[in-house]
A = this chain, B = another copy of it.
């Protein structure tokens, strides 16, 4: 097995560039850290390069998949520290291929309009996976799916949802042609409280969540079929976007699946 002990090694320099969203997009590759996510990536056949300290590579679950990576490198603890984004690293990393997922038109869909917080996005991916929203389509100016904090916040559920970047205006028109009912959370129009909205398992729903501060873009508001107001007291300005979205997805899962 090839060993890398210097942080200035060219392979490591190339991999570190994947921390930049533009580079990820150009190469269609991303960097994963941590055993849980890497095992998921192996199951999906996405791992190109596996890197770990000698100890990390010895782990039984990782050992089983060693043959499946195109390249495997043993790295020194200092190289692991350089690659890591967390305080307590498991010292195992993988460069993975981005898969080009299709929209699952048999299930409900989550639409994200300029969401900016990586923790919110990761948590929403985990909630979408939990509540059978099999596809998330995010506007191009939403924070990147492959951001390391997003990946961590999914808690290993990153690969369970089809993650797509697309302009939402076009997407919503397409989804309307596929008979999706478009749900929003804007308070500007005639909103119905969540309790009053009954979801039907014969319908398909696409739920739009907006930016944490500005909400849903004005040009999308007219395309919403039902605006939903999650009940809360009026002393708080708004709910966290991931919380509001998850409460609505949960109700759709219970009533509309």
Q: How many copies does the complex hold?
A: 2
Residue numbers in B under 8 Å from A250 (CB-CB): 230-232, 247
- Nearest Cβ distance between residue A44 and chain B, in whole angstroms? 14
A-B contact list, 10 entries, CB within 8 Å: A119-B119, A126-B239, A126-B240, A130-B236, A131-B233, A194-B254, A240-B242, A243-B243, A246-B247, A247-B250
**Bound form: Cα–Cα A232–B123 in Å:** 14
Task: Find the B residue at minimum CB distance from A117.
Answer: B119
Residue numbers in B under 8 Å from A130 (CB-CB): 232-233, 236, 239
Query: Interface residues of A toward B: which range?
Result: 20 to 34
- Nearest Cβ distance between residue A163 and chain B, in whole angstroms? 15
As a 0/1 sequence over residues 46 to 87 of chain A, the CB contacts with chain B under 8 angstroms (1 = contact) are: 000000000000000000000000000000000000000000
- Nearest Cβ distance between residue A79 and chain B, in whole angstroms? 27
**Bound form: Cα–Cα A153–B118 in Å:** 13
Whether the Cβ atoms of B254 and A155 lie closer than 8 Å is no
**Bound form: Cα–Cα A71–B15 in Å:** 50
Residue numbers in B under 8 Å from A236 (CB-CB): 126, 129-130, 157, 160
Among A132, A194, A230, A246, max chain B CB count under 10 A is at A246
